[in-house]
Chains A and B, each alone.
Chain A
Amino acid sequence: MNQMVVQSLQGVGLPSLAVLIASAVWFAVFRKHPRLRAIGVGLMFTGGIIWAYLLAFGGFAFPPRESGHWIPYLAGVAAIVGCLQGTRLVRQVSNLVLSLGTALIFFWSQISGNSLALVWVVAVTIVLFVSTILLQQVIEDRCSGAELSLGLALSAGAGGIVIFLGGSAVLGQVSGSIGAILAVIAVLAFFFNATVGRVLPLVYLFIFGSLLLSGCLFAQLPWLTAVLLWIAPWALVIGQRLDHPKISSRVKALLIRMLSVIALVAIAVGSAFLLTPPSSEL
């Protein structure tokens, strides 16, 4: 098999396999401690992302010199912020600071004397911060762990395809890895009927957001595609969470719940194909 295909499959498969095994053990051991279980799976998700980054980029850069280098550090910080206890105000202030920090990663070098860069910083900060509120307060209350993880997995997995189409195989591989990791977490969350807590969605927001921004600013990912993938998980507000003892009923409810997300993701991928034709470079 083509060497590069093997490397890509390893880059996507190995982290998701590791998270599958570790999370399965964690879910089983901490079955009666939902909060601890959720924090643990969030941290494993973060670890999986960092390993996926390592496999794609071949190492960590310190100090970081470009926005892509910040991904593993941003994942770690987002995980720590997600683990924070305290009042809702404390958590929201932390999210705001993290949102501003993420925006500055992309535009810091252009800020001096450039009012447009400042506008971008403000805009990206607002989008990220509002997204943290929406995702954590609206969707979490209406979704099971499996539904949320699968919705995010669909977005991130499709993100891998469209970022690759946009010209960056490496960033696409990282996004695809995130999708695969979330998919295995979704399966586990389904069978253990578990929630995924705050850490996982927060890390997803900042890392996937960074990947989409990188794709739009530094590769040729169309902005329309990026926006559609970003908002796709919000389609999970449609419908009701269904807790049913029968697995077949839960599977059916899960798939019906995913239809709106799948529709938005399909439109996003379609827009990418229309706006950036596939590369035949290799």
Chain B
Amino acid sequence: MKKHYLSLLLSILAFAGTTATHADTFKIDPVHSAIIFEIGHFGVGHIYGRFDTFSGTFTLDQNDPSKDAVSVEIKTDSVDTNFADRDKHIKSPDFFNAAQFPSATFKSTSVKKVDDKTYEVTGDFTLRGVTKPLTLNVQAIGSGPGPKGEFRSGWEATTTFKRSDFEVKTFLPAVTDEVSLRIAVEGIKQ
């Protein structure tokens, strides 16, 4: 009888061990990350800009990538296009209206593994108070110890969206509706 209970206990423990989640949370390191956007200008060129202030986390589940998650918050008044007058205009009610909407956010709702290094992350993107679904094409860059021994994981994501979907319609079509976004992040394991 004792043997029976002992083997039952061992089975339970073994089962619990194989199904235990192994999810790690990473905090985005803004010093080694970048969020860059590109938008067309009068059909003759592109304007590039970045956001200097952002934060977020991502969670990686080794056993079940569908449980991965990412959450990012971007401060809209940190936009930088290397020209102060344009930055002022982008922060105004004509574009981001940063005074009324200080943040743009992305919160993932699903993750689909395409191959070992590629994922499609779909989530809710909120810009200027409007929330729409957005899918990011995500590539794993690498992971390993950082300069201070901390464990880091690096990813790059790209996506395109229409700014008119978020009711940012100023200067269409001279300044294009499509905006390309490139997000490169390094996260530090918590």
- Which residues of chain B from 43 to 92 have a CB within 8 Å of any chain A CB? 83, 85-86, 88-89, 91-92
- Residues 120-137 of B, flagged 1 when their CB comes within 8 A of A and 0 if not, give 000000001110000000
Q: Specify which of A65, A169, A217 is in contact with B94 (CB 8 Å cutoff).
A: A169
With A4-B174, A57-B169 already in contact, the answer to whether A167 and B100 are too (CB < 8 A) is no
With A66-B101, A168-B94, A170-B93 already in contact, the answer to whether A220 and B171 are too (CB < 8 A) is no
With A66-B100, A169-B170 already in contact, the answer to whether A218 and B93 are too (CB < 8 A) is yes
With A58-B169, A67-B100, A170-B170 already in contact, the answer to whether A281 and B92 are too (CB < 8 A) is no
**CB neighbours of B85 from chain A (8 A):** 279-281
Q: How far is the CA of A4 from the CA of B94 in the complex (A)?
A: 14
- Residues 94-127 of B, flagged 1 when their CB comes within 8 A of A and 0 if not, give 1001011100000000000000000000000000
- Chain A residue with minimal CB distance to B83? A281
**CB neighbours of A214 from chain B (8 A):** 93
Tell me the smallest distance from the CB of A190 to a CB of chain B, in Å. Answer: 35
B14 at interface by CB-CB < 8 Å: no
Q: How large is the interface on B (under 10, 10 to 19, 20 to 34, 35 or more residues)?
A: 20 to 34
- Chain A residue with minimal CB distance to B170? A170
Q: How far is the CA of A58 from the CA of B171 in the complex (A)?
A: 10
- Chain B residue with minimal CB distance to A167? B92
Tell me the smallest distance from the CB of B32 to a CB of chain A, in Å. Answer: 31
**CB neighbours of B83 from chain A (8 A):** 281
A171 at interface by CB-CB < 8 Å: yes
Q: How far is the CA of A61 from the CA of B100 in the complex (A)?
A: 16
Q: How far is the CA of A4 from the CA of B41 in the complex (A)?
A: 12
Q: How far is the CA of A171 from the CA of B174 in the complex (A)?
A: 18
A68 at interface by CB-CB < 8 Å: yes
Interface size on A, residues (CB 8 A): 24
B172 at interface by CB-CB < 8 Å: yes
**CB neighbours of A167 from chain B (8 A):** 88-89, 91-92, 94
A228 at interface by CB-CB < 8 Å: no
**CB neighbours of A218 from chain B (8 A):** 92-93, 97, 99-100
Q: Specify which of A59, A66, A279 is in contact with B129 (CB 8 Å cutoff).
A: A66
Q: Specify which of A61, A66, A168, A280 is in contact with B92 (CB 8 Å cutoff).
A: A168
Are B174 and A61 neighbours in the complex by a CB distance under 8 Å? no
Are B93 and A171 neighbours in the complex by a CB distance under 8 Å? yes
Q: Looking at B92, B130, B172, which has the most chain A CB atoms within 10 Å of its CB?
A: B92
A219 at interface by CB-CB < 8 Å: yes
**CB neighbours of B171 from chain A (8 A):** 4, 169
A248 at interface by CB-CB < 8 Å: no
A87 at interface by CB-CB < 8 Å: no
Q: How far is the CA of A4 from the CA of B175 in the complex (A)?
A: 10
A3 at interface by CB-CB < 8 Å: yes
- Which residues of chain A from 19 to 40 have a CB within 8 Å of any chain B CB? none
**CB neighbours of A220 from chain B (8 A):** 88, 92
Give chain A's interface residues, CB within 8 Å of chain B.
Answer: 3-4, 57-59, 61, 65-68, 166-171, 214, 217-220, 279-281
Given contact pairs A214-B93, A279-B88, a sample of 8 additional A-B residue pairs in the complex whose CB atoms are under 8 Å apart: A4-B171, A58-B172, A65-B128, A65-B129, A66-B97, A166-B92, A167-B91, A169-B89
Q: List 21 A-B contacts (CB under 8 A).
A: A4-B171, A57-B169, A58-B164, A58-B169, A58-B172, A59-B167, A65-B129, A66-B93, A66-B101, A66-B129, A68-B97, A167-B89, A167-B92, A167-B94, A168-B89, A168-B92, A169-B89, A169-B170, A171-B93, A218-B92, A280-B85
A-B interface, 10 closest residue pairs, ranked by CB to CB distance from nearest: A58-B169, A279-B85, A167-B92, A218-B99, A65-B129, A281-B86, A281-B85, A219-B92, A168-B92, A167-B88
